[in-house]
Structure 1
Amino acid sequence: MTERHRPTRWWAELLLLGLVYGVYSGGRLLARGDVDLAVEHGLSILRFEHVLGMDFERPLNRLFTEQAWIGVPADFVYASLHYLVTPVVLVWLYRRRPAQYRFARTWLVSSTLLGLIGFTLMPTCPPRLLDAAHGFTDTMAYYSGYGWWGAEASAPRGMGGFTNQYAAMPSLHVGWALWCGVLLWAYGRTPLLKAFGLAYPLVTTVVVMGTANHYFLDAVAGAAVMGAGFLIAQRIGSRSRTRIVSGGWDTSAGELLPKQRPAAEDDSPAAAR
């Protein structure tokens, strides 16, 4: 990796991402909202999906509950990959695709903060926490004997108080998976990486519904948040390039801590083909 393409020092990136994740995690807890309101929002989404014929959660959840060979692996996917794949992709980009890293990081951060706004404005009860009369089973609790989680989504047993179970709209499980998928598809050099990039967000969407952690519209909102974050990152990158030309600095699209280098380079995914 040449100095011309090297991102900011790894510890600065780690501090930045740690700060953002801390704000995100703390904000989720502070945005718990009113439980009755969250239940009302969840039921409204369910009714709206039924009218549109998009209530895919119930048959998927029934399948995951009746077929342990599907439900148990799905619970492991839900409880682990969200927290493993995203940082791995970040590290991979930092080391192997430095010209695209800054844009991707800014895209992820922007989208995550938008998701936090969504949790605050619309606390939503996930299907698994609705009254049993609505026909949903919490597969994480149902199969809790197979893993480290209990009855509080993917939180380890005894740590449910450190999570906001009503932060369901939008689904950042789907949003982050989409972010990973787009980048792996765009910049992966092997068919295996590209195939994983295509499959990962699709599998995640099915899993979040089948485990009754999200509605289909939560997944749609997660994708929409990532789209909005992408546009924000492009806007930040465009402003950076304008500042660079006038001030003699160069940075990648979305770079937050610029280094001095030639101004001709464009590091956004749209330009890196």
Structure 2
Amino acid sequence: MPHAETPGTGSAPRLRLRWWTELPLIVLVYACYSAGRLLARGDVSSAVNHGLEILRIEKMLYLNAEHPLNRLFTREPWLGVPADFWYASLHYVVTPALLVWIFKWRSVHYRAARTWLMTSTFIGLIGFTLLPTCPPRLLSPEHGFVDTMAHYSSYGWWGGEASAPRGLGGMTNQYAAMPSLHVGWALWCGVMLWRHGGTRTAKTAGVVYPLVTTIVVMGTANHYFLDAVAGAAVMGVGLLLAPYVMRGADRARARFAGRVPLIAAQASEAAEPTRTGAATPSPAAAPTASPGAETSIVSAGCQTSAGERIPWQRESRFGPEAEPDASPTDAGDGAPAAAR
């Protein structure tokens, strides 16, 4: 069964992770990701202004990778169509496939990898909410961008309005360009392949996949170059925060695990009188043994002198280390003590 441990926690116990608990967690995070993109639509005019501001910043920095790549992908279908398939599909296939692979074959690293990815994704959702941004493909035509997803929509399963399946474009937030989690997730995949792939092919794929994804998101006019930079920065912040997130989860788990036995013990003590059929004797009613003699309890509430014993009768000693036997029946005749 796969195991994982928290790096840097020293004596922290190894945690047993199971797929039937991990899968709902991954689904929940992806649902939050999709819902966050959908709910944080923002004002369209603000999103357009943010997109134009990014273009102005890139112009000041002499950055203009989007236009030449977009013109190339629009002019050459043999580049544009595979790029659209890459953008619309691999983001949702490669990342979960690598999660499953790490869980099964690199389980000691799984928890740290999963926490890094999830933390970064939630940071990205904050970016979508605070800074809704219009992607280049949705700017007015005078800015010189062509939506290759719409241009080549007849080749693929996506519609002309978004990278969603046909007819579902209205169910996505098309103004969630900043940061680019396509680039962020691809960078995470690249690091996982480089660190845990074990072969030269895997390490090469770890370098090629995020680089090609960065080119694709710009060439298809879905993201600006600064979106890609922001996506990489989000993953960096998530990597720094992941150990703290895991420590917080460990503390919360330890507190919860400590409370559960306490609650169970209290419930067991409360149910004990009901199971035995007799009330727990109060301290005031408990018999007190003299220093020189011991009192033997041979039935519920019935005392005998020291040394006296009824044949076949079970005994229990009452003293500082034992409690009275509150059994509702005698071992000799099986009748309730109260009936005699």
Tell me by how many angstroms 1:54 deviates. Answer: 1.2
Counterparts of 2:86 and 2:3 in 1: how far apart (Å)?
Answer: 38
Going by fraction, where is helix more abundant, 1 or 2?
1
Counterparts of 2:101 and 2:3 in 1: how far apart (Å)?
Answer: 18
Counterparts of 2:2 and 2:51 in 1: how far apart (Å)?
Answer: 50
Residue in structure 2 matched with residue 111 of structure 1 by the alignment: 120
Note the 1:119-130 alignment, pairs <5 A: 119-130=128-139
Residues 150, 2 of structure 1: CA spacing in aligned structure 2 closer, same or farther, 3 A cutoff? Answer: closer
Note the 1:163-178 alignment, pairs <5 A: 163-178=172-187
Contact map agreement 2:3 2:108 (CA 8 A) in 1? no
1:212 aligned residue (221, 241, 245): 221
* Pair 1:141-2:140 in alignment: no
Contact map agreement 1:7 1:101 (CA 8 A) in 2? no
Counterparts of 1:215 and 1:207 in 2: how far apart (Å)?
Answer: 11
Tell me by how many angstroms 1:112 deviates. Answer: 0.4
Note the 1:233-244 alignment, pairs <5 A: 233-238=242-247
Counterparts of 2:33 and 2:249 in 1: how far apart (Å)?
Answer: 25
2:233 aligned residue (224, 227, 244): 224
2:98 aligned residue (79, 83, 89): 89
Larger C-alpha radius of gyration, 1 or 2? 2
Tell me by how many angstroms 1:24 deviates. Answer: 1.5
For these two proteins, the number of residue pairs brought into alignment is 246
Q: Output the TM-score relative to the length of structure 2.
A: 0.69
Gaps of 5+ in 2: 5-13, 258-340
Counterparts of 1:88 and 1:66 in 2: how far apart (Å)?
Answer: 33
Counterparts of 1:48 and 1:224 in 2: how far apart (Å)?
Answer: 17
Computed over aligned residues only, the root mean square deviation of the Cα atoms, in angstroms, reads 1.9
| CA deviation string 1:94-128 (max 9, x = no partner) | 00000100000000100000000000000000000
Counterparts of 2:59 and 2:211 in 1: how far apart (Å)?
Answer: 21
SS at match of 2:89: helix
* Pair 1:29-2:38 in alignment: yes
Counterparts of 2:2 and 2:21 in 1: how far apart (Å)?
Answer: 18
Residues 34, 90 of structure 1: CA spacing in aligned structure 2 closer, same or farther, 3 A cutoff? Answer: same
- Which structure is higher in RCO with an 8 Å CA cutoff and minimum separation 6? 1
* Pair 1:60-2:97 in alignment: no
Residue in structure 1 matched with residue 207 of structure 2 by the alignment: 198
Residues 160, 240 of structure 1: CA spacing in aligned structure 2 closer, same or farther, 3 A cutoff? Answer: closer
Residues 6, 136 of structure 1: CA spacing in aligned structure 2 closer, same or farther, 3 A cutoff? Answer: same
Counterparts of 1:28 and 1:198 in 2: how far apart (Å)?
Answer: 28
Residues 7, 76 of structure 1: CA spacing in aligned structure 2 closer, same or farther, 3 A cutoff? Answer: farther
- Counterpart of 1:218, as a letter, is D
Q: Output the TM-score relative to the length of structure 1.
A: 0.86
